[in-house]
């Protein structure tokens, strides 16, 4: 009788250690599902509860820094709506593409949510955090033309991309514009690492397949890209 609480305590302790070990093993075994032209693609890395938690954090960001549709340097309004979190936000107008320290409404960008940084720590670095989390929202008809991410100072850091919501048709090209491309559907919870030799590979999003995810009540797709800027 007297031993019972002790035994229960021991069993509880070992059970805790065992589940801790299992979680650690699962984290360690994060394997990339596929590599396309040097882009590491982790299908379904983010599970459904983590996607919902991240979405809730992004809503908090959007309350402080509301999404807007910037103009390209040629004067066309972009079809995606975007906002940012972090030290810098990505911005574009007649003066060109660049990073800026304030939202167009004059406020500082909110901090990058911890739920987002977890993925950066897991896949990129625990020492250097990203300076910018660009948040793109693709509504009906929105797309993103083929481009390179090259407004950053140091291309040795990858760009980490996280997809939430409806599927997006992601196109991967080459180190220079043009040539043959390959496309794949990115689904909610998929994560892509664009780094090393593929850091400056052209990529874009051709279209969104509405109604393929229940995450966003009104449909559409959110894409986050984490970037080291300076
Ligand atoms: O939406 C995506 O999957 C890619 C986004 C992107 O290429 C960018 O923000 O530069």
User: Ligand 1 center to residue 144 CA distance, Å?
Assistant: 7
Count CA within 13 A, CB hemisphere, residue 19.
Answer: 5
Fold classification of 32-227 is Jelly Rolls (2.60.120)
The gap from C-alpha 43 to its chain's centroid, in whole angstroms, comes to: 13
Residue whose CA is at the smallest distance from ligand 1 atom 9: 225
* 76 pLDDT higher than 90: yes
Handedness of CA 42, 47, 52, 54 (dihedral sign): negative
Domain residue ranges of the chain, discontinuous segments joined by +: 1-30, 32-227
Of the candidates 202, 128, 189, 124, which has an alpha carbon nearest to the alpha carbon of residue 159? Answer: 124
User: Ligand 1 center to residue 5 CA distance, Å?
Assistant: 55
pLDDT at residue number 33: 86
What distances in angstroms separate CA 48 from CA 59, 209, 214, 215, one per listed residue?
Answer: 17, 19, 10, 8
* Average of per-residue pLDDT across 41-47: 97
* Average of per-residue pLDDT across 136-156: 97
Q: Which residues contact 15 (CB under 8 A, 6 or more apart)?
A: none
* Average of per-residue pLDDT across 27-51: 88
pLDDT at residue number 14: 72
**108/103 Cα distance (integer angstroms):** 6
* Average of per-residue pLDDT across 78-105: 98
Residue whose CA is at the smallest distance from ligand 1 atom 8: 225
* Average of per-residue pLDDT across 158-184: 98
pLDDT at residue number 25: 54
pLDDT at residue number 29: 55
């Amino acid at each position: 009788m007297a031993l019972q609480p002790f035994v229960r305590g021991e069993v509880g302790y070992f059970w805790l250690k065992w589940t801790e070990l299992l979680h650690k093993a699962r984290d360690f075994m994060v394997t990339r599902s596929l590599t396309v032209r040097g882009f590491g693609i982790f299908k379904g890395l983010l599970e459904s509860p983590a996607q919902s938690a991240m979405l809730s954090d992004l809503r908090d960001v959007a309350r402080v820094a509301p999404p807007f549709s910037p103009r390209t340097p040629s004067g066309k309004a972009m079809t995606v709506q975007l906002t940012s979190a972090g030290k810098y936000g990505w911005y574009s107008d007649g003066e060109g593409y660049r990073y800026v320290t304030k939202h167009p409404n004059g406020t500082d960008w909110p901090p990058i949510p911890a739920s987002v940084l977890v993925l950066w720590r897991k896949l990129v670095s625990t020492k250097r955090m990203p300076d910018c989390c660009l948040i793109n929202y693709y509504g009906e008809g929105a797309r993103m033309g083929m481009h390179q991410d090259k407004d950053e100072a140091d291309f040795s850091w990858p760009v980490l991309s996280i997809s939430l919501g409806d599927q997006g048709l992601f196109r991967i090209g080459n180190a220079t514009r043009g040539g043959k491309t390959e496309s794949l559907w990115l689904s909610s919870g998929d994560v892509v690492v664009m780094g090393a030799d593929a850091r400056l590979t052209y990529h874009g999003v051709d279209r969104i397949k509405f109604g393929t995810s229940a995450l966003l009540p009104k449909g559409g797709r959110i894409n986050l890209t984490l970037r080291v800027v300076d």
